[in-house]
A and B are shown apart, each in its own frame.
Chain A
C-alpha cells in the first residue's frame, strides 16, 4: 500500500518568515495530494490540494509543488502569521475517489 513520509515533525519560525513542509510518497499510481491543517482542539481541515497533472498551485500565502518523477510534494507558506500555528498533514491517494494515506504531521509554531 501507499506510504507517506513527512518532514520535519516540528518547525519553528518567526512571524514573517517562510515555512516549507515536505512529503514523499511510495505509490507511483498516486495522483491526488491534499494538505490539511489541524488547529488545537479541532479536526483537520483541507487548505489546498494538487493533482498529478499540475506542478504547482497557489492560494494567497500558501502554495504546493509536486514532483512526480521524484515522488515528492511540498507545502510552502509565505509571510507566516501566528494564526498559521497548527499541525499540518499531507496525504496521498490514487484517485480523488479512494481513501487517503496521511503523513505523520508537522507541528508549525510561528512566534511573534
Chain B
C-alpha cells in the first residue's frame, strides 16, 4: 500500500465551488506539506504543518486553507475555486532524522484539479 495517499486523484469542478483535497499518510511523519505544480513553474509551497497544532503559510497561500485533523491527515480546501487554480496538487511528508536524508520529502501521487 502507498505510504502517502491523496483523494481524489482527479477532479473537475466549476468556478465558485468549494473543493477539498485530502491527504493521508502511514509513515508516522509529523511534517506535512501541500504543493502546487504548474507547467514551467515547478513546485510551489501552499501550506505546511510541522505538527498537529502547527499550520504555516507557504509561498502561494492566497485562496487556499488547510486543516490538520490528525498526525496522519492534512486537507487542502479551495473555498471558492477559480480557473487559475487549475493545477496538479501534491501532498508530501517528512520527518527529520529518518530515511536516507535528514529532510527527505515523500510525495503522494497527486490530484489533478480542473476548474471550469
Please report A residues at the B interface, Cβ cutoff 8 Å: 1, 6, 9, 32, 34, 41-46, 49, 89, 93, 95-105
Contacts and interface: CB of A to CB of B under 8 A. Distances in A.
A43 B90 contact: yes
A102 B42 contact: yes
A34 B105 CA distance: 10
Contacts of B45: 99-101
A105 B42 contact: yes
Secondary structure at the B interface, as helix, strand, loop or mixed, is: loop
Given A44-B90, A104-B40, A99 B104 contact: no
Interface of B: 4, 33, 40-45, 48, 58-59, 90, 92, 96, 100-105, 107-110
Contact of A96 (B44, B48, B103): B103
Across the A-B interface, give the 8 residue pairs with the lowest CB-CB distance, nearest first.
Answer: A43-B107, A104-B42, A96-B103, A96-B102, A102-B43, A46-B104, A102-B42, A97-B96
Given A44-B43, A105-B42, 13 more contacts: A9-B40, A32-B102, A43-B92, A43-B107, A44-B90, A46-B104, A96-B96, A97-B96, A100-B45, A101-B45, A102-B42, A104-B40, A104-B41
